[in-house]
Amino acid sequence: MAFHSVREKHAKALQFIEEVTRDADSVQRKVLAEILTQNAETEYLKRFQLDGATDRDTFKSKVPVVTYEDLRPDIQRIANGDRSPIFSSRPISDSGTSAGERKLMPTIHEDTDRRNLLRSLVMPLMNQYMPDLDKGKALYFLFIKAETKTPGGLVARPVSTSYYTSEQFLNKPFDPYSVYTSPKQAILCTDSFQSMYSQMLCGLIMRHQVLRVGAIFASGLLRAIRFLQHNYQQLAHDISTGTLNPKITDPSIKQCMAEILKPDPELADFITQQCSEQNSERIITRIWPNTKYIDVIVTGSMAQYIPTLDYYSGGLPLVSTMYASSECFFGPNLKPICSPSDVSYTILPNMGYFEFLPLDDVDNTVSTDLVDLAHVEVGKCYELVVTTYAGLCRYRVGDILRVTGFHNSAPQFGFVKRKNVVLSIDMEKTDEEDLQKAIENASIILKEFNASVVDYTSFADVSSLPGHYVIYWELLVKEPSNRRPTSEALNRCCLAMEESLNATYRQARVADKSFGALEIRVVKNGTFEELMDFAISRGASINQYKVSRCVSSDPIMKLLDSKVISVHFSPTTPHWTAE
Ligand code: AMP
């Protein structure tokens, strides 16, 4: 692509952001009318007798706010093969799966264009703050998951897989701002070891050309660094000899690596020396010395990884470029080079129709009157509700956002948290309900000792890699009982908890090996009482006090750890099979 045309493309992208945010309210009105007109004949909208109305007032008065659970039966019909227009008048091209909870989400062909539009804004925005990104390559660890079919024959795959396997990604015209070190063959390999190995190998070989290092989420990049630490000897061997690890059996990877891999003993020695050091401080910048920034999302549940990324990168800028979900893509971060705590995303009013459920400081809904995009107030928190072209109407995404300001008339949001999430290490989301179910499953084992779990809390321990779940248990051994639960039984309890956690958790644990064994720390009797005393001494109401199922505060964790009487781990991995 000629230099001037790239410049023009970037200028157009920035101009587009200005235009679409200038009168957010009228763009929103248009989007809603478009969606309602397009989907007027769908079964879902007909249920609410809109009778062709496309205005906001009618829509809001007739169509209810819903959650995924409300839509599940209809989505299941689509998955089972019902091709009648249920949500959308357009054919459902595939169904995205939301990585966290494995939700099926109907997708229409035009969604791809809207998502790509948002993606196309990222580099023009970066280029404003970081020069010369066209003078080298990006080392991005990108992975796909094997596609599955729904019972009715639709393709089901994560939204990122849809993109990395799409024409738009694979056959993009050359753009000097989007040159990756990873060959397509490596990205397209569904075997995660072979894919990671070959992407890392290319990243090492091209180390001097690498200007940015990233993955979609922070956890993905940390996984890659851990992979390097575990596999550097073999990687160095391959580089030294110019031969490929025999574990790489994918023919297309073998073929493309044959062209890239040449014997380079000097580079191999360098890698060995850098990775064999105990100290991994600045490992990213030592190996990729020209890295200008780290491109990973570090907002929301990913914020826990910031200290580790800072340590590995020597404090390079951590850039969270955009906010998106399987249901709908929302918008970019217009000031990508800001500190992670200041990241705001500008929801682009053309991506869907957005409404906001007002919340108070402790996540209680303060009003059931939803606020429009252009009318949210700075400083306030809201739960995001979307209406999409694919036919989701007034759908609660489950994210809580805080308004930080406006760009023209479009509001900007800080990501506060995912509603109800208790534990999250990577893409999995384990909420209170999941945790409770897991505890109940494990408690069955305790019955043989006439014991039960009195109380529990948890945290995702990411201080060492791989991260793992830690659950604090207080046990009650009821009389008559011959003995306390044995250590062996408590180990089994760890596994029983893991068995009942969701498929994303078990896949990460079994197939990806990115989580360590779940740990139960049994604490002395009376510990949770002390915890409550502690909370009350700090102002909590006795009536309203609830044990937090997930702890993060230092003094509370210290208190808990000082009461631990035994520690247990899953003896093996839970069951997981690719669906
Ligand atoms: P999924 O549908 O599985 O792709 O997950 C989408 C969810 O990931 C969103 O609803 C958010 O909870 C989270 N997410 C996506 N982008 C961001 C971001 N930039 N910052 C924080 N959380 C994000």
User: Would you place residue 275 in the very low, low, confident or very high pLDDT band (cuts 50, 70, 90)?
Assistant: very high
Q: How many residues does the chain have?
A: 579
Q: What does the pLDDT read at residue 532?
A: 82
The answer to whether position 25 is within a domain reads no
Note whether residue 331 is domain-resident: no
Report if residue 441 sits inside a domain. yes
Give the mean pLDDT of 270-297: 95
The answer to whether residue 512 is domain-embedded is yes
pLDDT, mean over the chain: 91
Range of the structural domain that residue 487 is part of: 421-569
CA 282 – CA 280 distance, rounded (Å): 6
Positive or negative CA dihedral for 498, 499, 500, 506? positive
Q: Is residue 510 part of a domain?
A: yes
pLDDT of residue 329: 96
Question: Residue 99: its pLDDT value, please?
Answer: 41
Q: Are 157 and 209 in contact (CB under 8 A)?
A: no
Residue 1 has pLDDT above 70, yes or no: no
Q: Could you give the CA distance from residue 328 to residue 106 in angstroms, rounded to a whole number?
A: 11
485 occurs within a structural domain: yes
Protein residue with its CA nearest to atom 16 in ligand 1: 323
Counting atoms of ligand 1 from 1, which one is nearest the CA of 105? 2
User: What is the pLDDT at residue 98?
Assistant: 52
Please report the pLDDT score of residue 542 as a whole number: 62
Pocket lining for ligand 1, CB < 6 angstroms: 98-100, 159, 297, 299-300, 320, 323-326, 397, 399, 415, 418
Closest ligand 1 atom to Cα of 321? 19
Residue 388 CA to ligand 1 center (angstroms) comes to 16
CA–CA separation, 168 vs 163, rounded Å? 8
The phi and psi torsions of 270 (rounded to 5 degrees) equal -60, -45
Centre of ligand 1 to C-alpha 322, Å, is 9
Per-residue pLDDT for 283 more than 50? yes
Q: What are phi and psi of 93, to 5 degrees?
A: -85, -40
User: Is residue 366 in some structural domain?
Assistant: no
**Mean per-residue pLDDT, 380-407:** 96
Report yes or no on whether pTM surpasses 0.95. no
Domain count of the fold of the chain: 1
Do the domain assignments include residue 530? yes
Question: What is the structure's pLDDT at 551?
Answer: 87
